[in-house]
């Protein structure tokens, strides 16, 4: 039995963007759910609000860790893209055109 699914709702994060400039954002809404194909993987979709008030989306995932330090706990996947509403719509449009969804 896996631990409860993690939540980032309301969490504030700060990072540097690819240009080295700081960015601060808050997770204002989320949905975290077990992957249909693997009970040890959970997908996370986050709605982010940045300090400049713009909003973007992030798709990420968690896996049940195997490394000793975090074994048996949900660990955030290292690579999680962030995107605008328009980017998300374009991705979904392409997935529909291919018949993936």
Q: What is the pLDDT of residues 67-81, one digit of tens each?
A: 999 999 999 987 767
Instruction: Identify the pLDDT of residue 66.
Output: 92
- For the segment 41-52, the average pLDDT, to the nearest whole number, is 92
CATH number for the segment(s) 12-97: 3.10.450
Domain boundaries, the chain: 12-97
d(CA 16, CA 78): 16
Q: Are strands 74-76 and 12-16 parallel, antiparallel or unpaired?
A: unpaired
Q: What is the pLDDT of residues 47-65, one digit of tens each?
A: 999 999 999 998 889 999 9
Instruction: Identify the pLDDT of residue 84.
Output: 80
Instruction: Identify the pLDDT of residue 4.
Output: 96
Query: Model's pTM, two decimal places?
Result: 0.76
Question: Two tokens at 36?
Answer: 């249909």
């Amino acid at each position: 039995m896996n631990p409860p699914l993690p939540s980032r709702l309301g969490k504030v994060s700060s990072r540097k963007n690819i240009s080295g400039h700081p960015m601060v954002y808050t997770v204002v809404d989320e949905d975290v759910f077990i992957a249909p194909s693997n009970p040890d993987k959970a997908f996370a979709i986050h709605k982010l609000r940045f300090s400049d008030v713009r909003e973007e989306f992030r798709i990420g995932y968690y896996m049940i860790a195997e490394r000793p330090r975090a074994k048996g706990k949900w660990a955030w996947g290292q690579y999680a893209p962030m995107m605008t509403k328009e980017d998300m719509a374009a991705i979904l449009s392409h997935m529909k055109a291919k018949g993936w969804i």
